[in-house]
Amino acid sequence: MMNFKEIWNNRDKANPFSGVFSVADENGVIFERCAGFRNRSEQLPNNADTAFGVASGTKLFTGLSVCKLIETGKLSLEDKLWDVLPYDLGQIDKRVTIRHLLTHTSGIGDYLDEEADDYDEKSEALAHAYPLYLWERLDYYLQMITPLEKKFEPGERFGYSNAGFIMLGLAVEAASGKPYRQFVTEEIITPLQLKRTGFYRMDNLPANTAIGYMEDDGGGWKTNMFTLPVIGGADGGIFTCAKDMDMLWRALFAGRIISDTMRTAFLSPQVKRDAERSYGLGVYRIDRNGKTAHYAVGCDAGVQFFSICFPEWKLTATALQNMDYDVFTLLDSLFSQALQ
């Protein structure tokens, strides 16, 4: 069994932890630490029920939503994006499929290209050109994506794509006839009773929700309210808590979100990242020494997140932080002990 106290104590202590680190088995929480403040001005502490933004952790919810629609025959992995969406998709290659988008192999131009060397400068310029308070409807993103040239040929390689998951959110809307956020809420959040999970507006956060913080130029702190879209989309921005993530993983393996057959496809290695790591249909996977873990990660201004499921032990581990400081040393430590 892993020594979670040791993993916690060996984290990177160069910077303080502000958030929640929680580990649970099928009987409940077995190790948990809460630290820092959800609201620094009011000195309100983070606690086990605090909801945190998880940035790209949202892609897990988007992938599951698409898989639900595939199961009901409203989408298929081989559907061409141009055939699914009722929009002029500009420079997006007409060969791009739902499978390409789910596996980050579409090659479409990315409005937030995390592979670019000048990512920070380009994302800042984008926010000036398209004010973040207007980023509400997913179709608003089309003007930022469809004029972009493709990065590579569809299926050529893995290339992490935020734009690809925006397109998947639009595909969810087209196939279901519902706004993306409504679909996720009605088909995943509400049925699973994820009470601290939702697409909360940055200008109207509910009680016990962590405000994200970044260091300012003077060595103090500022919130991420003017750095992220006013409300999350299909590529990032949902809020959740550690307990809800544990419930989500357990519901997935209990067949309460998608069928066993669909879950196998969702979790299976669809595209290799390296010798150990791969990507499924919206979720990461690591295979080491005959053992497997599935995980989601997210990182943005004032947001650090990971959530892992170790199926062999029916164990989950989630770290949520509302500061820019690294939590991924914890992730590496968990892999080192669990997959040795």
pLDDT tens digits for range 147-199:
999 999 999 999 999 999 999 999 999 999 999 999 999 999 999 999 999 99
Q: Where are the domains of the chain?
A: 4-338
223-247 as b/e: b if 16+ CB within 10 A = bbbebbbbbbbbbbbbbbbbbbbbb
H/E element holding 100? helix 98-102
Burial class (CB in 10 A: 0-12, 13-18, 19+), 315: buried
* Residue 104 pLDDT exceeds 70: yes
For residue 15, is pLDDT > 90?
no
Q: How confident is the model at residue 1 (pLDDT cuts 50, 70, 90)?
A: low
pLDDT digits (tens, 9 = 90+) for 293-321: 999 999 999 999 999 999 999 999 999 99
Tell me the mean pLDDT in the region 232-245.
98
Please measure the distance between the N-terminal and C-terminal CA atoms of the chain and give it in whole angstroms: 11
pTM of the model: 0.97
3.20.20.10, 2.30.40.10, 3.40.710.10, 3.30.930.10: which CATH number matches 4-338?
3.40.710.10
